[in-house]
A and B are shown apart, each in its own frame.
Chain A
Amino acid sequence: MAATHTTNPVSVPGAEAKVSAPGPAPSRARRLARAVLPGPAPGANGAAMYRRWWLPWLWTAPAIACAVIFGVFPFLNTMLLSFTNAKPLGGAYRFVGLDNYTRMLDDSDFWLATRNSILYALIVVPLMVLLPLLLAVLVEKNLPGIGFFRSAFYTPVLASSVVVGLSWQWLLADDGLVNTWLQKAHLIRSAIPFLSDSWLILLSAMGLTLWKGLGWYMVFYLAALGNVPKELHEAAAMDGAGAARRFWHITVPGVRQAMMLVGTLTGIGSLRVFTEIYMLGSATGGPGGADRTLPFYIRDVGLDPITGNAGYGSAVSVALFLLTLGLTLLAQRLTKEDEA
């Protein structure tokens, strides 16, 4: 077939002659035509005859276009905006150099939001890496009724963040379920101010994030656990290793890559947390705005149509991006060192 095609060009008249007869270099127009026009490529065999350099780009063009329109362009636009005093509703703007960045350095609200975001990541990430793994180990075995527990752990993932937030408000209110139980059990005398103390609001929001994410990452780990050879567990058990020892020395190394991925994804998610704080701390971000995270702060300073400053909001967004990038690179470096 290939030979037939080579000797019978289908759509580029004269191609055969050009292949077989050495001579002066083809003109620029001919080279372009050869590269662009359909039909067999000269001097190629098999499927390669019909392959053109631009074909892969053609197939990936929709994906590239989406990435550029929804990812690259907004990112570059945000970078550009961060050096301006642009307003959320557009209108005239001017470049202000590094003013937005120097303002950030002296902005105590920005640093408070940064502290909250970092704290959120530092507490949530390790727990989110470990707890779903433990859950996955618990529900991994095919026991009667295990499906119920798997479903139960996964259910919070399906619930809307707003509904979950409202449920947690009811749970954590002064006369909510948690305080009522604790009081009835005589463990506390007065209600714990889960929803009015800024530290407790932040911790409660972290709890909400964990509760909602456990099921998702549990499923993730269940898939990863399937790749850990059972023989290793059997051999270790025969050698007298207990469950905890086997977990640390077989299971954890076996799912190390999955743990790193969960850690990275959770880290990015934690730095971007908004809904949980909004649901438990309302529009101010807790009393006095003390629980605001960086995305919350970006909304406050950058997006308000009347008093917002899109330029400053963009500068804070860039800071959030750099923080996320820094933590991700740090995690990657730690992984490499660990593996080495």
Chain B
Amino acid sequence: MRAKRLTRTLTCFAVLSLTAAGCGLSGGGSDSGDATAGGCKVDKGNVGSGKLTGEVKGDITFQTTNLKKDFGDFFNGVIKDFETAHPGTKVKWIDDPGDATFGQRTVADAQACTLPDVLNVDSPTATSLTKAGYLLNVGVKDPDAAKPFVPAFWKSSLMKDPSGASVHTVLPWYTGGILLTYNTDLLKQAGIDPAKPPTTVFGLFADYEKVAKAAKGKFYATMANPVWRIPADWDQMNIKTLSADGKSAVFADDPRTVQWVEWMTRLYKEGAMPKDSLSSSNDPSTLYSQGKVAYGSTNPSFVRFVQQNSPSVYDKTAVGQQPFDALGHTTGAPQYIATAATSKNAPTALAFSEFLTNAENQTAWCKDPKVVIFPTTSASLDDPFFQKVTGDDPFAQARKLVAEQLKTATAYQTNISSAMQNAIVAQVQLAMQGKKSAADAVKDAQAKANEMLKQSS
């Protein structure tokens, strides 16, 4: 009897579990008429149209990734200033290590309706959270939210919500900037004038080829893994990776994509890149610091890395403008600050998001000597720190080169998922190994990208 009873109980439990699983999956709103965001019950004011109203009061959580160690004092100061300006508020700062599982953990938090009230996200994470409806529509909830930001950066924060509509769910924060970094000594050995950086991507590839011919395996031009260049190079060449509505991949339609893959294949074959870097996750940092690679990372912070780790190579390091190519300027992929639609104190969370990203705080952080980053607010970029750069060291030059184009930039980096990037990169790798023609690789890459877009729609 007892065994039967137990069996019945367990069966009921299993059925309930299955039902619960189904409930957990359904998300997207309930029949009760309560406001929901991403399947979580939220305050009605957090969703739909209309400005967010309510008192700025109460406790919120603020999550960053790996910033406490170097910038603890700065952020504690910002938090204290906010709490002083808004009595009755308390900000709890959580600094996540920001490892490889960060994205997945954030997704798990979102599914559990426990996203931090304010969080630092990159473009892919912001896109996915917006698509599932977990973020506050800041463009609607504060119609003045756009005002402080450079138009291109504000435009970059436009993402698709669950209904497919374009909404602003994040505030631009800081950007790393893009520029060429190179070892002048190695460039001279290859017969390249460091003072005249190329203006097109293919021009840069031609310089890589010169390096390969001159070096004969003693040093290299750059790293082989295409993951560092897709879609950044294509953006620069104004090759459209995705269609305007983002629903299909179109890069194969542009003949320059095949030419780009052919260049990469030739460079790999000619020894412009270390053979073992084809599918390596190592960026050029280590080999550049050893004087084995002529071109370094395109991130100004990289210069600081070289200065700290290899002073002798730093002495030979110079920076130049990244080839503008057909686009006419570089593209940025800033970091963003998002406000969770699931916040219990959304007015406070939004107020803190705006406080953190305002011109004053952005400028103050970008001036921190421990970091080489750039602000996304117009007023910050007008600051003499960026406009009246003196000195000819690589840092000063980097600041000058990046800041002068940020204000006029009109486009931003194409946002594709990591899985799609890997799928495209994998096909290019096969072409570089000579296992596929460039044309076939591009065609297959597009087919795989479209398959992914289809399954996610």
Q: Which residues of chain A have a CB within 8 Å of any CB of chain B?
A: 53, 57, 68, 72-73, 76-77, 80-81, 84-93, 169, 172-174, 191, 193-196, 201, 281-289, 300-301, 303-309, 312
Contacts and interface: CB of A to CB of B under 8 A. Distances in A.
B195 interface: no
A91 B28 contact: yes
Contacts of A73: 17, 20-21
A93 B2 contact: no
Contacts of A194: 276
B128 interface: yes
A288 B132 contact: no
A283 B435 contact: no
Nearest to B441: A288
Interface stretch (B173-181, B373-381, B425-433): B425-433
Nearest to A309: B455
Contact of B21 (A80, A85, A306, A307): A80
Contact of A282 (B22, B38, B227, B420): B227
B107 A305 contact: yes
SS class of chain A's interface: helix, strand, loop or mixed?
loop
A85 B455 CA distance: 8
Contacts of A89: 38, 107, 110-111, 128-129, 131-132, 134
A300 B110 CA distance: 20
A88 B280 CA distance: 27
Contacts of B20: 73
B455 A287 contact: no
Contact of B14 (A76, A87, A312): A76
Given A91-B27, A287-B432, A312-B455, 6 more contacts: A68-B17, A89-B111, A284-B279, A284-B425, A287-B430, A306-B417
SS class of chain B's interface: helix, strand, loop or mixed?
helix
Contacts of B2: 53
Interface string B252-278: 000000000000000000000011101
B452 A307 contact: yes
B13 interface: yes
Contact of A91 (B39, B227, B430, B433): B39
Given A282-B227, A300-B419, A92 B26 contact: yes
Interface in B10-24: 13-14, 17-18, 20-22, 24
Given A169-B280, A303-B104, A91 B132 contact: yes
A90 B111 contact: yes
A195 B274 CA distance: 11
- Smallest CB-CB A-B distances: 10 pairs: A305-B128, A306-B417, A89-B132, A304-B419, A90-B27, A288-B430, A307-B452, A289-B426, A282-B281, A77-B21
A53 B125 CA distance: 51
Interface string B424-448: 0111011011010000000000000
Contacts of A93: 25-26
Interface string B187-220: 0000000000000000000000000000000000
Nearest to B9: A57
A274 to B, nearest CB: 11
A197 B423 CA distance: 18
Give the most central of A85, A89, A281, A289: most B CB within 10 Å.
Answer: A89
A284 B281 CA distance: 9
Give the most central of A86, A282, A309: most B CB within 10 Å.
Answer: A282
Contacts of A306: 124, 127-128, 131, 416-417, 419-420, 456
A287 B426 CA distance: 6
Contact of A284 (B131, B275, B426): B426
A91 B419 contact: no
Contact of B17 (A53, A72, A286, A288): A72
Given A288-B430, A306-B128, A195 B280 contact: yes
B63 to A, nearest CB: 16
B76 to A, nearest CB: 30
A300 B418 CA distance: 9
B225 interface: yes
B285 interface: no
Contacts of B276: 172-174, 191, 193-196
